[in-house]
Structure 1
């Protein structure tokens, strides 16, 4: 079974405006939309769209948490969320006018009792399972929560995927995650440098392997992606042509597509293609990509 963890799910309230946002004034929208997710839930959605059953774990609270659970259920995703005693799950406001403005909420406080319940859920994982951890962590969680989770699973043959940044990612490498996915800018930030060429990106990806990562997937937006595998292979792929409509969830889609592609035939090259197709398909959509859209782009790569 594949499991995803979303520590801080959210409802993204997207407000579209034909004009620029005028601070201090009454602004009127052209349209509004709501999207339910968070990085782990996004991964779960794409996996489901590609035909892979999975279980979404995480924390929800209040009436917004109920709406998130209902949305996940409607998508046919199995979920086992932990209900928090206080607060509400986040509502993030995304204002899309002549420029994009975002207000990301903090989210509810997560008490120790809820953390203990999550670790009880993780006790169910067995050899052969996959656990995907994606995104930042709320301030109410201990800063080493990723490390504690990977340490807990270190005595089992559970493949872990970590999509995080800076120390949150660097500190788990000693537990040899199956896959990590920084983008090229995040990779450079981890070493206090700016990476400008493929050779520089490859060199620093291998530094993360030396610290323990098995496979390093580097996304590079319109420049495609690179994969450095645990077998010493390097794969490089561009992106298909299309109009970029949305950046939210593209990285999560790439992670899900990679896992789906790898499970299909255990080929790293094909996994990279499927990951790139999934990330691009979401970027070309208003919402997360459908399975049909992903497979269509996959055939063109």
Structure 2
């Protein structure tokens, strides 16, 4: 079974406001409300690709109930822990103002709630896949990823980690199956500037030396690079298309990669599926559908021939 963890889910209120003016009343020209959070985005794209999975994490209050309702409506299974106090956050995303966002804080997650999550994760075993993505709320231990991976170590769970700097570096000793830094995050780790696909390869290999099995590096308009466990290296320029919505593109990439890997157990196919999924979401008003991903996949494969 496939599981995703979203520690701090949200309702994303995505709006466009033409000619926004500070200090005045502004009216939206478009509105969209979606369940959000990196793990939830992964669950959504996997679901769009027809892959069953279960979203885990914490929900609270009326917004938490709405997140759960919308996921159910979308066909995404969930098994969230309900927190008695506070409310799950609402994130305001202003599409028409250069990607400006105002993100809520979310509820306080108690040690007892954390332990409930650990009990659920303790049931995972051989053949299961777990996605750990995003930041950790301030109310939780900052070594939460490390604790989870230590608990699952040796159980045969394939773990995907999409996190930054210390969150990522601290789990490499447990050999995650896949990590996905972008080129800027990879550069920050090693204090270098990485602007070309060729330049990221040696630093991705350094993360392999530290324990990562496969390193997928997203580079926005420059494309992407995969340094795979079997020693192969793949890279491709970014597919052509109109950028409509960058929210969730990275989450779509890791979802697509794992979908491709589980389909054929072939790194080239997994890489192309990851690139296609991430790009298709970026070219869409919402997270990519199966048909949109298939269309971009054909473009990627055609350009590589």
TM-score, normalising length: structure 2? 0.96
Q: Report if aligned partners of 2:197, 2:223 keep a CA contact under 8 Å in 1.
A: no
Give the match for residue 224 of structure 1.
223
Give the match for residue 164 of structure 2.
165
Matches within 5 A, 1:210-221: 210-221=209-220
Give the match for residue 140 of structure 1.
139
SS at match of 1:272: helix
Question: Compared with structure 1, are the counterparts of its residues 98 and 105 closer, same or farther at alpha carbon in structure 2 (3 Å cutoff)?
Answer: closer
Give the match for residue 75 of structure 1.
74
1:192 shift after superposition: 1.6
Deviation string for 1:1-51 (max 9, x for gaps)? 1110000001111121111x3222222222222111211011011111111
Are positions 1:4 and 2:4 aligned together? yes
Question: Compared with structure 1, are the counterparts of its residues 98 and 40 closer, same or farther at alpha carbon in structure 2 (3 Å cutoff)?
Answer: closer
SS at match of 2:270: helix
1:98 shift after superposition: 4.5
Q: Report if aligned partners of 2:43, 2:54 keep a CA contact under 8 Å in 1.
A: yes
Which consecutive residues of structure 2, in runs of 5 or more, have no partner in the other structure? 301-305
TM-score, normalising length: structure 1? 0.97
Counterpart CA distance in 1 for 2:154 and 2:89 is: 34
Counterpart CA distance in 1 for 2:30 and 2:134 is: 28
Are positions 1:128 and 2:127 aligned together? yes
Deviation string for 1:268-293 (max 9, x for gaps)? 00000001110011001111111111
- The number of residues matched between the two structures is 300
Q: Which aligned segments of 4 or more residues in structure 1 are displaced greater than 4 angstroms?
A: none
Range moving further from structure 2, 28-37 or 70-79: 28-37
Q: Report if aligned partners of 2:197, 2:222 keep a CA contact under 8 Å in 1.
A: no
Range moving further from structure 2, 176-185 or 229-238: 229-238
1:68 shift after superposition: 0.4
1:76 shift after superposition: 1.2
1:96 shift after superposition: 2.8
Are positions 1:183 and 2:182 aligned together? yes
Q: Report if aligned partners of 2:197, 2:235 keep a CA contact under 8 Å in 1.
A: no
